[in-house]
Amino acid sequence: MNDALKTDLDDIALILEEIKRSSVDYLNEINEIPTTRIDQQVEPATLHEAGLGTSKTLALFNDNRRKLMVSSAGPRYWGFVVGGVTPAALAGDWLTPVFDQNTQSTQGNGDISAIVELETIRLMAQLLGLPDTFHGGFVTGATMSNFSCLAVGRQWAGMQLGKDIARDGMDKEIVVLAATPHSSVIKSLSMLGFGSNNIVAVNNLSGREAIDLYDLEQKLIDLQGRSVILNCSAGTVNTVDFDDLAAISSLKKKYKFWMHVDAAFGGFAACSEHYKHLVSGWEFADSITIDCHKWMNLPYDSAVFLVQKAHQKLQVQTFQNSNAPYLGNPDENFSYLNFLPENSRRFRALPAWFSLMAYGKAGFRWIVENNIDCAQQFGRYLADSAEFELTAPVRLNVVCFRLNEKEKTARFLDVYNKRGKVFMTATVLNGEMCIRTAFVNYRTSDKDIAIRELEETLKLL
């Protein structure tokens, strides 16, 4: 064995101790670590003939790169929809490469990782109050989840026209309807051959980001004879608006369409008794996207996609490795190889399994309700202040606002973020720029909300 590898293997216990110490140091400091780094200069590394070994590599990294990490997993990173990493999630993720399983088959391959993945999907369905009619798997994020769900939807839509899209290619008679699709849905439609320009826009309700049901029904009537996929939102990214999923699902009795629900983070409303009505009716969807590296506080990269078991044949047609006869009949010999885009894949369910077992329903209910409380407190403060105004109601865990002196908003955000205490991102609502904060980290508390960064930043303008 090569010397560097041999020494590392002999010292594995020591190396893991060093990594543990380094991890604990970082996590203990995370509240003080800046949320942004202005000076991002690093000396480019050179690849040498002989490697340094892991201990020296860790020291080198800690010396010059670790200090440029931002506390995106900390309590005051409110930009995008980021989330953090709970201890149980970290434990599961740490162990994933220890086992390094190639998660595929539930039979005959000698490991149980696929069985654990199926079990994790069942546990997630229990957390979210979904029936066991769904079947699912782990993918890298909500983008791939939307992609996978829409791919099965495409196969269903083709079948309505007597076409097998997976074998014969795209059919122009398939139509995708959407009101406020996330950018990743549009990207998925490009990747799937629909063409992102071909989305048929459904009207929003006035002043809302949710589907106007009257307009939807008109479109479904007009499109009879075509084959329709409808993208619904359970939590739009800006104003966290929810489509009326119960009403949409009852339209399925009158019209044929594939109902996909992008519930990337909004789906976690189901953890709370007070908010679960927002997703009522999603159990009748054909497919659902859930992100795990956002509100579930799992590390990147993790999401699940759920498809009704009744569509299993279509799912297999979409993802089957049909030129690998050793896989046998995919219906009898279950393998993830035939149920989602990737072939070889990591044991991605493990951090989720650990988190679900470690915190249970009460743990996730607390995370969700605590974040909603934080958003409401922050929203009340802004609404009451003389300098700021809300640009959307605080429906769940996201707050959108701007300065009363609108034109100063961009400069304010820039100065604010450069201070490195709290991080927020810009968005556009009704054609105008505003600031958007999303509360999805389990560490965030009222202490973080009370921080006087807004006032301090105003003084600097």
Ligand X SMILES: *Cc1c(COP(=O)(O)O)cnc(C)c1O
Q: Which is nearer to ligand X, 34 or 281 (CB)?
A: 281
Contact 35, 423 (CB under 8 A): yes
Question: Per CB under 6 A, which of residues 326..345 are in contact with ligand X?
Answer: none
Interaction between residue 265 and ligand X (CB under 6 A): yes
In 10 A of CB 310, how many CB atoms?
11
- Strand pairing category for 227-233 and 174-178: parallel
Question: Per CB under 6 A, which of residues 145..184 are in contact with ligand X?
Answer: 146, 182, 184
Interaction between residue 93 and ligand X (CB under 6 A): no
Quote the least distance from Cβ 231 to ligand X, whole Å.
10
Contacts for 35 with CB less than 8 Å, ≥ 6 apart: 70, 71, 72, 74, 76, 77, 417, 420, 421, 422, 423
Question: Per CB under 6 A, which of residues 188..207 are in contact with ligand X?
Answer: none
Interaction between residue 209 and ligand X (CB under 6 A): no
Quote the least distance from Cβ 350 to ligand X, whole Å.
18
Amino acid occupying residue 379: G
Interaction between residue 264 and ligand X (CB under 6 A): yes
The tokens describing 450, both together, are 């009370």
Interaction between residue 237 and ligand X (CB under 6 A): yes
Residues touching ligand X: how many (CB under 6 A)?
14
Interaction between residue 287 and ligand X (CB under 6 A): no
Quote the least distance from Cβ 264 to ligand X, whole Å.
3
Give the burial string for 109-132 (b: 16+ CB within 10 Å, else e): eeeebbebbbebbbbbbebbebee
Q: Which is nearer to ligand X, 116 or 261 (CB)?
A: 261
End-to-end CA distance of the chain: 61
Window of 141-149, 248-256, 317-325, 427-435 that interacts with ligand X by CB under 6 A: 141-149
Quote the least distance from Cβ 453 to ligand X, whole Å.
25
Q: Hey, what's the torsion of the CAs at 22, 27, 31, 32, to 10 degrees?
A: 0
Contacts for 250 with CB less than 8 Å, ≥ 6 apart: 281
What is the 3-state composition of the chain as percent helix, strand, coil, each rounded to the nearest 5? Answer: 45, 15, 40
Q: Which is nearer to ligand X, 397 or 457 (CB)?
A: 397
Interaction between residue 291 and ligand X (CB under 6 A): yes
Q: Is 439 left (phi over 0), alpha (psi -120 to 50) or beta?
A: beta
Interaction between residue 143 and ligand X (CB under 6 A): yes
Which of 33, 81, 279, 288 is in the footprint of ligand X by CB under 6 A? 81
Window of 137-145, 242-250, 378-386, 391-399 that interacts with ligand X by CB under 6 A: 137-145
Window of 119-127, 257-265, 354-362, 373-381 that interacts with ligand X by CB under 6 A: 257-265
Contacts for 415 with CB less than 8 Å, ≥ 6 apart: 457, 460, 461
The binding site for ligand X (CB under 6 A) comprises: 81, 141-143, 146, 182, 184, 235, 237, 262, 264-265, 291, 303
